Chain A
Amino acid sequence: MDRRDFIKKSLLTLALGQAAPSLLSRTALAAQSKDKILVVVNMFGGNDQLNTLVPFRNDLYYHNRPSIAIAKDTVLDLGQNGQYLGLHPQLRPLMSMWDAGELALIPQVGYPNPNRSHFVSTSIWHTADPTHHEPTGWLGRWSDGQTDPFCDTFVGGATPQALQGVHHTAPAIQSVDGFTIRMPRPLEDAMNAEMGQTRQGKAEEVRQAMLSLRGALNKIGQIRTYTNKVQYPDNAFGKSLADVARMIAGGLGSSVYYTTVGGWDTHAAQQPRQAELLGYLAQTLSAFRADLKALGRDKDVLIMAFSEFGRRVQENASHGTDHGKGGLMLVLGSGVKGGMYGSEPDLENLDDGDLKYQTDFRNVYSASLEWIQADTKRVLGQDFKPLGLV
Chain B
Amino acid sequence: MARTLSYLDATHLLRRATARGRKEEAQQLVDVGLEAAVDSLLQDPATAVPYHTEVTITERYEQHKEIANLWLSHWLTTPTPAAERLVLFWHGHFTSQFNESMGASASDAWTQFATFRSQAYGPFSDLLKAVAQNPMMLLYLNNAESRKEHPNENWARELMELYTLSPGFYSEKDVQESARAFTGWSTRLASGKRGYQRDPNEPFVYFFNPRWHDSGPKTFMGRQIQNGDDVLDILSNHPQTYLFVGHKLLVNYLTPQPPQAMVQEAARVLQSGGTRETLRWLFTRDEFYSPQYRSTVVKSPIEYLVGLFYAAGQNQPLIGKDDGKASARLLGIFTAMGQIPFEPPTVKGWDGDMNWLDESRLLTRLNLVSAFAGKENQLDLSVFMDGANGPLALVKPEAQLL
Chain A residues within CB distance 8 Å of chain B: 44, 115-120, 154, 156-159, 171-175, 178-179, 181-184, 186-188, 190-191, 194, 199, 201-207, 209-210, 212-213, 216-217, 262, 267-269, 314-318, 320, 322-323, 352
Contact = CB atoms under 8 A, between A and B. Distances in A.
The 3 closest A-B pairs by CB, nearest first: A174-B360, A206-B397, A191-B395
26 contacts: A115-B167, A116-B157, A119-B346, A156-B360, A157-B336, A158-B338, A158-B358, A158-B361, A171-B358, A172-B358, A173-B360, A183-B370, A187-B370, A187-B373, A187-B392, A190-B392, A203-B401, A204-B397, A209-B358, A209-B362, A268-B142, A268-B152, A315-B150, A316-B146, A316-B152, A317-B145
Given A117-B157, A181-B366, 14 more contacts: A117-B161, A157-B338, A172-B360, A173-B359, A173-B360, A182-B367, A187-B373, A188-B395, A201-B296, A209-B359, A213-B366, A315-B150, A316-B152, A317-B151
A198 B54 CA distance: 53
B396 A194 contact: yes
B180 to A, nearest CB: 12
A320 B358 contact: no
B369 interface: yes
Given A171-B359, A268-B145, A203 B397 contact: yes
Contacts of B107: none
Contacts of A318: 142, 145-146, 152
A323 to B, nearest CB: 7
B295 interface: yes
B395 A317 contact: no
Nearest to B141: A267
Contact of B336 (A178, A182, A315, A320): A178
B66 interface: no
Interface string B332-364: 000010100000011110010011111111110
A156 B200 CA distance: 33
Contacts of B355: 158-159
Contacts of A116: 157, 172, 175
Contact of A118 (B145, B348, B397): B348
B150 A314 contact: yes
Contact of A206 (B102, B357, B369): B357
Given A158-B358, A315-B150, A318-B145, A182 B370 contact: yes
A39 to B, nearest CB: 19
Nearest to B183: A317
B360 A157 contact: yes
B125 interface: no
A268 B392 CA distance: 50
Contacts of A267: 141-142, 152, 154
B149 interface: yes
B377 interface: no
A44 B346 CA distance: 9
Contacts of B292: 201
A317 B401 contact: no
B38 interface: no
Nearest to A220: B359
A194 B351 CA distance: 27
B351 A158 contact: yes
B85 interface: no
Nearest to A169: B358
B361 A203 contact: no
Nearest to A322: B153
Contacts of A314: 150
B142 A206 contact: no
Contacts of A207: 397
A154 B359 CA distance: 10
Nearest to B356: A158
A149 to B, nearest CB: 11
A186 B298 CA distance: 25
Given A182-B370, A183-B370, A172 B359 contact: yes
Nearest to B370: A183
Contacts of A217: 363
B44 interface: no
Contacts of B346: 44, 118-119, 262
